[in-house]
Amino acid sequence: MSAPVLALSGLTRHFGGLVALDALDMRVERGQIVGLIGPNGSGKTTSFNVLTGIYAASAGRAEFLGRDITNLRAQAVYEAGIARTFQRSRLCLPLSIFDNIMVGNHKRLARGLWFNLFRRAALRAQIEGAFEEARELVRVFDAPLADRMFDAVGALPMIDRRRIEICRALISRPQLLLLDEPSAGMTEEETRELMDDILEIRGRIEGLSIVIIEHEMGVIERITERCVVLNFGRKIAEGTYRQVAAERQVQEAYLGVE
């Protein structure tokens, strides 16, 4: 058996006296979609931030494809093959759709000063190639959007920004995609569309695994194979949606807060 895509053991993060993430154990197998759920403030986003090198772990260990990635710098985590979106959209609003997606494509683009300044013909070929690829990806999410690749992102409605943010994370062909509340602020219809797109993408990218933080239980039921439930930073349940939804502790956590 090959190593799981992601294996967290005892991952912990304190903020002063607050234990935002308390000894989280979690596994994601290749090709799986895993839901990460729990009330507000239960540590879901923190787990992503610790994983992707934005915050250092206070304790515990994270392995990605068998390799220790605990406390790697954010850049190294991305290079290793993990890409993410943010709960509060973090696109570069004055830049175009294409520019934003190219930010996510960083590891596949030439970075040398000499190449970028003086090898214009080679750069041109790279720009044209990357453009076609980015447009194809955007087309999966929304065909009309693919004709507006040079529009500023700041002029787009929220749903399109979410789509672009997912495209930015996907363009580098990561092994693991971390989605932090991708449907926040969307209507039911839009959410359904977005989830269709995510499923389609997963079908297209060989072996892509996804961890999705989501509040919409219908979404979780529909697209995840397994979920992990957090409350006050601790894992309180794990299993298929049906299994965890049946657990008393989970019902209490949700009823108690929401």
Partner 1 sequence: MNAAPRAPLWPGIVAAALVTAFAVAFMWAENEWEVVGVLAAALVAVLVARRTGWLAPAARAFEMREPAMNCVTIAALLVFVAFFHDDHFPLLMVGTVLVYFTVCLGLTIQFGYAGVLNFAAAAFLGTGCYTAAVLSAHTSLPHLLVLAAGGAVAALVGSILILPVLRTRGHYAAVVTIAFGLLFRTFLEVNDTLGGPQGLKLPSMNLLGMTFNDNFIVAGIEFSFYMHYVLAALALAVLAFAVTRRLERSWIGVSLDAIRLDETAAACFGIHLARWKIVAFTLGNFMAGAARALYALMLGFIAPTNFTFGDSLVMVSIILLGGIGNPWGAALAAALVVVLPEKLQLIQEYRFLLYAAMVILVLLYRPEGLLPRPLRNYLPGWRPR
Task: Catalog residues that contact ligand ADP under the rule CB under 6 A.
Answer: 15, 18, 20, 38, 40-46
Give the Å distances, CA to CA, from 237 to 44, 141, 192, 217: 14, 32, 26, 15
- Binding flags for partner 1, 108-127, as an x/- string (CB under 8 A): -xxx-x--xxx-x--xx-xx
Stretch that binds partner 1, among 19-27, 79-87, 225-233, 243-251 (CB under 8 A): 79-87
The yes or no reply on residue 15 touching partner 1 (CB under 8 A) is no
How many angstroms separate the CA atoms of 8 and 38, rounded?
A: 18
The nearer residue to Mg ion, 2 or 40, going by C-beta atoms, is 40
Residue 64 phi, psi (nearest 5) = -120, 115
Q: Which does 46 bind (CB under 5 to 8 A by kind): Mg ion, partner 1, ligand ADP, none?
A: ligand ADP
The nearer residue to Mg ion, 171 or 236, going by C-beta atoms, is 236
The yes or no reply on residue 209 touching Mg ion (CB under 5 A) is no
Q: Are 47 and 12 in contact (CB under 8 A)?
A: no
How many angstroms separate the CA atoms of 241 and 34, rounded?
A: 10
The nearer residue to ligand ADP, 55 or 141, going by C-beta atoms, is 55
Stretch that binds Mg ion, among 17-25, 71-79, 80-88, 139-147 (CB under 5 A): 80-88
The yes or no reply on residue 45 touching Mg ion (CB under 5 A) is yes
Q: Quick one: tokens of 201?
A: 């993408």
How many angstroms separate the CA atoms of 102 and 70, rounded?
A: 27
Number of residues engaging Mg ion in binding (CB under 5 A): 2
How would you list the strands of the sheet with 234-239, edge to edge?
82-84, 176-180, 209-213, 33-37, 226-231, 234-239
Angle between helices 120-141 and 158-170 (to 10 degrees): 130
Interface ranges with partner 1 (CB under 8 A): 52-54, 73-75, 77-79, 83-84, 86, 90-96, 99, 102-104, 106-107, 109-111, 113, 116-118, 120, 123-124, 126-128, 131-132, 135, 149-150, 152, 168, 172
